[in-house]
Structure 1
């Protein structure tokens, strides 16, 4: 198995986009191809909820209360699966906020690092990022705005765009 194909990525869906928003779903793909996804049951003091965000990801607060795992269990599982790894995200400012919100809510430390995809891609590759991401999602018919789906799209897009730089240009000899 070529581990370079699986770029480790984590993605969150959230209650909204403001400073009081909190994570409601996490999904990841690791460099060995393992995937993980879970809904996150909100703490009682996590009350901010934006209907606009709910319409985008399609998750209701009631569904979280019914099927979500407690934040402490999510943190324990993430630490177990991601120990000492570097995971990437295409929206570091939001995902970093939600990761910190999750771990600080249960008084745990995160045993892995989160880096923006810009650490792995060149400036030229970043200019093509949106095109690659849309192409991967469309080609594979993956519904966006669910955490695991988005993590897979991001990982596959990064692998595809990085593979482009490794290809030798085709030359025609006269």
Structure 2
């Protein structure tokens, strides 16, 4: 892959059956971030207090400031039309993205793929230490989906550059 990947991260109400997306963010090819809270649908009632402590987003805030699933799906389709977007938690993120688009009554016009598809074995060796370094350098104080996406994207870039130097 020669172009910088678009990386997406999704925060959710918890893990497992019944969980749903509460925040979605991504980092574009040039590092521009986009993030939004998602208002729970009427039948989205699952809430895991441990997950809430990690993302520090109260359900009340989602109800007050979150965008509807239909609006988020429309915005994503407009902004990511025809793109492949990568996620490091593809298994869960795919399910949460499907739940969002199902509630919106439409399909994504982009493809969500596993970030591991574009990480070489050389990059994988460097991944963990590089990610810790990126997190330290960015000194992000708020756990947010777009911040997580940017950390992953920068980690991919740095490990790509480092693996090219090594070979």
Normalization by structure 1: what TM-score?
0.89
Instruction: Name the counterpart of 2:14.
Output: 16
- Structure 2 gap ranges (5+): none
For residues 49-107 of structure 1, what are the alpha-carbon distances to aligned partners after superposition, in whole Å with 9 as ceiling and x for unaligned?
00000000000100000010011000000000000001111111111111111101121
Match of 1:119 among 117, 120, 133: 117
CA distance, structure 1, for counterparts of residue 132 and residue 38 of structure 2: 27
Q: Kindly name which structure, 1 or 2, has the bigger radius of gyration based on alpha carbons.
A: 1
- Structure 1 gap ranges (5+): 170-174
Structure 1 segment 20-35 matched on structure 2, within 5 A: 20-35=18-33
CA distance, structure 2, for counterparts of residue 23 and residue 120 of structure 1: 25
Instruction: Name the counterpart of 1:145.
Output: 143
Normalization by structure 2: what TM-score?
0.93
Instruction: Name the counterpart of 1:99.
Output: 97
Match of 1:162 among 144, 155, 160: 160
Size of the aligned set, in residue pairs, is 166
Task: Say what the alpha-carbon RMSD is for the aligned residues.
Answer: 1.6
CA distance, structure 2, for counterparts of residue 132 and residue 114 of structure 1: 24
Choose 59-68 or 127-136, whichever is displaced more.
Answer: 127-136
CA distance, structure 1, for counterparts of residue 59 and residue 76 of structure 2: 22
Larger relative helix fraction: 2
